[in-house]
Amino acid sequence: MNGVASLSAAHRVAVFGGTHGNELSGIALVGLWLRDGAEIRRRGLEVRPFMANPRAVQERARYIDTDLNRAFTPENLSSFQGEDLPYEVKRAQEINQIFGPMGSPDAYDVIFDLHNTTSNMGCTLILESSNDHFNLQMVHYIKHAVAPVTCSVLLNDHPRLHYSTTRSVAKHPIGLEVGPQPQGVLRSNIFESMRLILKHALDFIEHFNGGVEFLPCTVEVYRVVERVDYPRDSNGNISAMVHPDLQDCDWEPLNPGDPMFQMFDGRTVQYKGDCTVYPTFINEAAYYEKQQAFVMTKKETLNANGIKVTKS
């Protein structure tokens, strides 16, 4: 479609930290903004900082009973409240009440969910839909604002690989994933990168609400196509590590025949696919429990419609 589509203003915005209690950048930033929100205040916007999983934050653990960032399924959100539910399922219901209900007109317009990764991914924005033109325009704006620093865009809209994120309660969910940073550690460079991306994101929303027109554009994204597990022995135990040629090479091309894993006995496991892919979340610490060594993506260019705010 050419031309410029009219969209409603985005007045209610939330910034989540501590969806995972051992990812300290978002926890520190949200803690800071809960004490003094001047930095995230914008004209015509309610910006609400929020600690998503306070018990996990207190324990410095990813979660208490189950991963909050996989808990927002229709079944969980409709489970009877009085039942003896896992802590994160109860928390998902509370978050859905405060910021949702998911899929309803009452839901928050935007939720930014702040995460750290142990992988060498740099600054990454995560989208859940290739049709959300508001979000596509926002990531386009952010990418230009932070250039020449790279901000990659990961698109996860695969019906099988998609998962039920905390941010999915909002009309426009967007994840911020910055790394590398070990779990339970704060690094100033990662903290400042995250802070800067959020600043530009809020500026974008303020400009949009204020009547700035954003012209049609294109956005380069990495679309999730597969999750790759470690090689395993007959007992299901890991029998290889990420190959040194692949380690820390997030977003770089992996071609047929390139090394993927190094077996404990020294042999190399090569990538046997028939086309170039772009691995990311390589050797992410939190994904060992999810039986995932990395995520394979394909590079794609999406067209974003022009957008402007509907005059009220």
Binding site for Zn ion (CB under 5 A): 20, 23, 115
Asked if the bond preceding 49 is cis, omega within 30° of 0, the reply is: no
Pair of tokens at residue 71: 């808990």
Pair of tokens at residue 110: 């935007």
Provide the minimum distance between the beta carbon of 268 and Zn ion in the complex, in angstroms, as a whole number: 31
* Tokens 């940073």 found at: 181
CB-nearest residue to Zn ion: 115
C-alpha 159/C-alpha 156 separation (Å) is 9
Q: Which of 14, 91, 93 is nearest to 48 (CA)?
A: 14
C-alpha 75/C-alpha 94 separation (Å) is 14
Instruction: Output the CA–CA distances (angstroms, integers) from residue 215 to 109, 128, 242, 306, 310, in the order listed.
Output: 21, 22, 42, 4, 15
Provide the minimum distance between the beta carbon of 20 and Zn ion in the complex, in angstroms, as a whole number: 4
Closer Cβ to Zn ion, 113 or 206, answer by number: 113
Is-contact 29 37, C-beta < 8 A? no
* Non-local CB neighbours of 116 within 8 Å, separated by 6+ positions: 20, 23, 24, 25, 26, 177, 178, 179, 181, 183, 190
Is-contact 212 137, C-beta < 8 A? no
C-alpha 280/C-alpha 15 separation (Å) is 24
Provide the minimum distance between the beta carbon of 12 and Zn ion in the complex, in angstroms, as a whole number: 23
Closer Cβ to Zn ion, 27 or 136, answer by number: 27
289 is an active site residue: no
Which residue is catalytic, options 128, 177, 206, 284?
177
Closer Cβ to Zn ion, 29 or 304, answer by number: 29
Provide the minimum distance between the beta carbon of 123 and Zn ion in the complex, in angstroms, as a whole number: 15
Number of alpha carbons in the 13 Å side-chain half-sphere of residue 231: 16
Provide the minimum distance between the beta carbon of 95 and Zn ion in the complex, in angstroms, as a whole number: 15
Active site residues: 177
